[in-house]
Amino acid sequence: ASFLLLCFRSPLVTCLIFGLLLQPPLTELSIITQPNIVLLMADDLGIGDVGCYGNDTIRTPNIDRLAKEGVKLTQHIAAAPLCTPSRAAFLTGRYPLRSGMDAINNYRVIFWNAGSGGLPPNETTFAKILQQQGYSTGLIGKWHQGVNCESRNDHCHHPLNHGFDYFYGMPFTLISDCEPTETPEMDRAFRRKLWLSTQMIGLIAFTAALGRVTGLIPVRWKTLTCLAGFSFLFFVSWFSSYGFVRYWNCIMMRNHEVTEQPMVTNRTTFLILRESISFIERNKHKPFLLFLSFLHSHTPLLTTEKFLRRSKHGLYGDNVEEMDWMVGQVLDAIDKEGLKDTTLVYFASDHGGWLERQEDKRQLGGWNGIYKGGKAMGGWEGGIRVPGIFRWPGVLPAGKVIDEPTSLMDIYPTVVHLAGGAVPQDRIIDGRDLMPLLQGTVAHSEHEFLFHYCGVHLHAVRWHQKDSGAIWKAHYVTPIFSPPGAGACYDRGFCPCFGEGVTHHDPPLLFDLSRDPSEAKPLSADTEPLFDTVIGKIGRAIEEHRRTLTPVPEQLSVYNVVWKPWLQPCCGTFPFCWCDKEGDC
């Protein structure tokens, strides 16, 4: 009553001020201040393929606009040089070997939808935390983190079991087998390895059975049954790679339902873009997380007629330019809904471009600019240095460039903190919150060391010597390029992580990336006075890092990656899996 009396006796402005001061505090302030988060991730895009990173022949005006209106990172590093482990690290903020998502063998990614390996259910993704903070969470596009564990519909590795409310896309990844007109990918080294493994296990099983029958080898029937089962699994997996890959791997899902088996590739781009814009429109009235995981620019480079024959770089350039157009459509949808100032947009690639991907004289993989190496190479910059762009008008400065070591793993704590959540305290999180660096309240990245793995094999280590500005990088293992000096492993298709295809260095090769970003001139004790000091410092960091590692189940073990018929997602009655539920789109 006294307040009302005061209002009658005071000017209107005074009244309003008192009214505001007497308002109770907002109980949902954290929700009001939570930004929308849109994460855009390209597949196999090289850092040299984007205009704002120096390319002047592939047109990427929308990605370039993001950089002009936001912050560009020039030393943004993937935690692995291949899809499955890199994305596992991105989702969890942890080096992939901490979750078992890096390989001790040559099976370095998930090879089948019907494998049993994948992102473990006990891992906590940033999507799960944002979901708990009240966000609507959606994943559109590529997953490649596994589907099932023990049965066809348990979906233990599925996006909806990892914090996403909505999923539309490929549970696997694009491969050339998805396009009937393209040369299959899975008939290459993978088939040879499967057949060799089938023969070896079959021979062991036959020898054991013969020994049991003749009494020369005391083998239990249980052991024989297991050997026979393994032999059958490998044979079925090898046999299925001929003609069945398109039906087993090239499928589309909406949430838990298979919608296309096999996928109809000439409308995939349209559907992914439609789903992304629809998700934004449906969730514009509450905080949302959209992870748009592009199928571009992975082979077979699905490109619509509108963008064909437009780029100087053939089909690959066409595909990148179409992806840039899709980025623009998503940004336009954000603007249309009036969400630009309340939305953090991030763009990156999962790892470097695939140099060896060629057909005849066509280059179907990306370009990594001045950086040596490419996809599958865990140490060289070309395999792990990727575009990294943030835009949030009014919060992040426009046109800023940051040349500090950052990681894709940093997205995890960054978006968790923005959402008002807390990172898990029961495990090591290797990422660091980037907001202070992006906003300019600190000058240096929190990363002192970054460890560069190829599978579970440590190939290189980066040390950010902040007091001097030097970025030291020591290579302990490097792949052997073939032909010599070619800059890639053209005779293999991928560079290996171990074995006869690599060289071990003792002492390690040392570079100062601040002076030699192309890693062209290795330093030595004769040419660099700090050589021994730097190598000693990095060596101690490796010892400390290894003490933080604990054994976990190997998600990419031979058993986990092999095709298992009882785990195959199927639209229909297995093995007659076929459907097209998007036919009226």
> Which residues are catalytic, by number?
83, 144
**Torsional class of 502: left (φ above 0), alpha (ψ -120 to 50), beta (otherwise):** beta
Helix (H, G, I), strand (E, B) or coil at 407: strand
Q: How far is CA 19 from CA 3, 15, 16, 143, in A?
A: 8, 6, 5, 51
Structure-derived torsion over alpha carbons of residues 258, 260, 265, 267, reported in degrees to the nearest 10 = -100
Helix (H, G, I), strand (E, B) or coil at 332: helix
DSSP state of 282: H
The token pair that represents 576 in the structure block: 């007659």
Looking from the CA of 343 toward its CB, the CA atoms found within 13 Å total: 27
Q: How far is CA 131 from CA 53, 128, 165, 298, 541, in A?
A: 34, 5, 8, 29, 35
Q: Which of 536, 516, 513 is nearest to 525 (CA)?
A: 536
Q: Using an 8 Å Cβ cutoff, are 548 and 97 in contact?
A: no
Q: Which uninterrupted H or E stretch holds 522?
A: none
Q: Using an 8 Å Cβ cutoff, are 323 and 297 in contact?
A: yes
CB atoms within 10 A of CB 468: 11
CB atoms within 10 A of CB 577: 18
On the question of a cis peptide bond just before residue 436, with omega within 30 degrees of 0, the verdict is: no
Q: How far is CA 403 from CA 4, 294, 385, 471, 574, in A?
A: 58, 26, 12, 10, 52
Convert 59-94 to b/e letters by CB count within 10 Å (16 or more is b). bbebbbbbbebbbbbebbbbbbbbbbbbbbbbbbbb
The pairing of beta strand 579-580 with beta strand 257-261? antiparallel
Tracing tokens 């998503």 back to the chain, one arrives at: 330
Structure-derived torsion over alpha carbons of residues 386, 392, 397, 401, reported in degrees to the nearest 10 = 0
Q: Which of 140, 138, 87, 110 is nearest to 269 (CA)?
A: 140
The token pair that represents 330 in the structure block: 């998503």
- Per the document, the length of the chain is 585
